DNA sequence: TAGTGGTCTAGACCACTGA
DNA sequence: CAGTGGTCTAGACCACTAG
């Protein structure tokens, strides 16, 4: 007695710190509240700033905190559920599906995308940029790759680039008969351009949702959407009613 | 000329390092190959070890590298696609769905889970542990929460705990009429027990898939599955045929 | 036991925000 | 401008793995 339990396998300081901070967030802070700065916090816990930061990083990764350079660290609201449309197979751009077109250019896609589209690696495709906003915050940035062969009737009359062009490509896509779609989700880190769009630093963790649209037996379009991993919970199926949040734990049984 | 382009907004060293390493991985290394140790690499690039590690961490997050304490850093194989069953609404445990039961205990679930189940916060529920293996590697660990009311005919004859009990609970679940299911995916960090099961360190990034099974107008069961984010690509829908991998880029157009 | 990645320290300077 | 988080350094020790 007298000594705190001597752990034969002591957990790392930053791990313990994370636990302590997490409990403090539940009991002593409310959403949006600003935390003491990192130097003060580190001193208060008697650790180096780097160690404290390791704990803060994990909490930010879990969506509990939000840190902004020049501003400070705040308590994050619960993650917002964003529907990624599970069942119904629909083309992007129908009935304005929470996305809004930003731009469209004709460009040679990355090799991996070209391969998935099944076309020539050096063949330019329509590249539509769209962004998605939820609760006033940007949550996702998308690049939609559409081979020219998928939208044969696209007229040169439409603007050669820009939002108008993007809408034209989406409009032409609807004319195809959608046979199916395949979707995959994986972890990634934001490229510089996506990071800017998502109001994050480059390298920020994102959930990458890749969707392959199948029509006429081939890949008619490919969407690569990057969602902010810190603020988003992707929902599939009936609706976004699954609610498992981090919250104050109850006393053990 | 002569000077490399002076960047008005210089990118961080670790970011540039990551790019260089990434290209080296594409061109000079093959899957499974072991990299020089961190101290050597840092010296070779003329940076501190911490800076090099920042780059390695991101590459590991993106599934390009695999690091193991006491062993070294190796080039990771492409992420494996794991089907998370998109369309068909089925109970867990049917026709052995890639999962195998590990254990089952009766315990009071975390508050958030209890709330989702709609029951009393102090009411114990059947807690089934399952694990999922793909290509010989553990890829996911699951906790399936089943309220006693969902499996009323579970007899006391069955083992009170252990794999046999788990199978019994799953068997009883099948008798219910499944009305629908809701699924959500978000980023998390592995708890100590999950980390052990996944052969990772605690805090490792994981994709948390939460599934709510609806029957008789209520939540009949709740599954919380954590997938290794570094090695897994979750696929939904028809099959796992969407293949967008990091690969050697081609020369720009 | 030697070598690896994981943790930790105590500093320093930089980039950004907002008053 | 002062204050914040972001980057970086040059060390140290620890936990783990494998020969």
Asked if the model's pLDDT at residue A142 lies above 50, the reply is yes
Contact of B147 with B123, CB cutoff 8 Å: yes
Higher pLDDT, B227 or A93: B227
Average pLDDT, chain A: 87
A111 at the B interface (CB within 8 A)? yes
C2 C1' – B233 CA distance, angstroms? 37
Name the DSSP letter for residue A200: S
The pLDDT, as a whole number, for residue A251 is 37
Which tokens go with A155?
Answer: 């007229």
Question: B46 CA to chain A: closest CA distance, Å?
Answer: 21
Asked if the model's pLDDT at residue A80 lies above 50, the reply is yes
pTM of the model: 0.90
pLDDT mean over A205-231 = 94
Higher pLDDT, A17 or B237: A17
Question: A207 CA to chain B: closest CA distance, Å?
Answer: 8
Higher pLDDT, A153 or A73: A73
For residues B178 and B213, give the distance between their C-alpha atoms in angstroms, rounded to a whole number: 7
For residues B132 and B227, give the distance between their C-alpha atoms in angstroms, rounded to a whole number: 9
Name the residue facing B186 among A58, A116, A234 (closest C-beta). Answer: A234
B180-199 pLDDT, tens digit each? 889 999 999 999 999 999 99
For residues B187 and B230, give the distance between their C-alpha atoms in angstroms, rounded to a whole number: 12
Asked if the model's pLDDT at residue A198 lies above 90, the reply is yes
Contact of B229 with A187, CB cutoff 8 Å: yes
Question: B133 CA to chain A: closest CA distance, Å?
Answer: 18
Smallest CA-to-CA distance from B228 within B171, B178, B193, B188 is with B188
Asked if the model's pLDDT at residue B63 lies above 90, the reply is yes
Could you give the percent of chain B with pLDDT greater than 70?
86
For residues B190 and B228, give the distance between their C-alpha atoms in angstroms, rounded to a whole number: 9
B38 at the A interface (CB within 8 A)? no
C4 C1' – A215 CA distance, angstroms? 51
Residue B235 neighbours by CB under 8 Å, 6+ apart:
A182, A183, A184, A185, B81, B82, B83, B84, B242
pLDDT mean over B116-143 = 92
B10 at the A interface (CB within 8 A)? no
Range from B5-14, B212-221, B241-250 that averages highest in pLDDT: B212-221
Could you give the percent of chain A with pLDDT greater than 90?
68
B78-127 pLDDT, tens digit each? 999 999 976 567 888 776 578 989 999 999 999 999 999 987 899 999 99
pLDDT mean over A17-29 = 96
pLDDT mean over A102-128 = 92
Q: Which of B80, B139, B145, B186 to mutate to test the interface with A (most CBs of A within 10 A)?
A: B186
Name the residue facing B184 among A58, A81, A230 (closest C-beta). Answer: A81
Q: Which residues of A touch B121 (CB under 8 A)?
A: 250
Smallest CA-to-CA distance from B245 within A233, A188, A191, A214 is with A188
pLDDT mean over A27-38 = 96
Decide: residue B66, CB within 10 A, 0-12 exposed, 13-18 middle, 19+ buried: middle
Find residue A34's DSSP bridge partners: A74
The pLDDT, as a whole number, for residue B1 is 39
Could you give the percent of chain A with pLDDT greater than 70?
86
Q: Which residues of A touch B11 (CB under 8 A)?
A: 202
| Residue whose CA is minimally distant from C9 C1' | A48
Residues B63, A187: C-beta atoms closer than 8 Å: yes
């Amino acid at each position: 007695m007298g000594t705190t339990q001597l752990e034969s396998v002591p957990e790392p300081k930053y791990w313990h710190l994370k636990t302590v901070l997490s409990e403090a967030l539940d009991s002593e802070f409310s959403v949006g509240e600003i935390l003491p700065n990192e130097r003060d916090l580190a001193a208060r816990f008697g650790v180096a700033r780097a160690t404290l930061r390791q704990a803060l990083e994990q909490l930010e990764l879990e969506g509990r905190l939000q840190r902004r350079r020049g501003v400070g660290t705040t308590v994050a609201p619960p993650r917002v559920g964003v529907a990624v449309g599970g069942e119904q197979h629909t083309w992007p751009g129908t009935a304005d599906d929470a996305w809004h077109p930003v731009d469209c250019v004709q460009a040679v896609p990355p090799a991996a995308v070209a391969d998935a589209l099944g076309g020539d690696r050096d063949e330019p495709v329509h590249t539509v940029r769209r962004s998605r906003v939820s609760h006033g915050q940007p949550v996702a940035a998308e690049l939609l790759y559409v081979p020219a062969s998928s939208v044969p009737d696209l007229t040169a009359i439409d603007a050669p680039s820009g939002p108008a062009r993007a809408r034209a490509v989406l409009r032409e896509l609807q004319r195809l008969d959608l046979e199916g779609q395949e979707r995959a989700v994986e972890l990634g880190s934001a490229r510089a351009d996506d990071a800017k769009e998502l109001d994050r630093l480059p390298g920020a963790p994102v959930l990458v949702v890749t969707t392959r649209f199948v029509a006429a037996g081939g890949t008619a379009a490919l969407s690569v959407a990057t969602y902010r991993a810190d603020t988003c919970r992707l929902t599939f199926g009936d609706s976004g009613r699954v609610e498992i949040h981090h919250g104050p734990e109850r006393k053990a049984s």
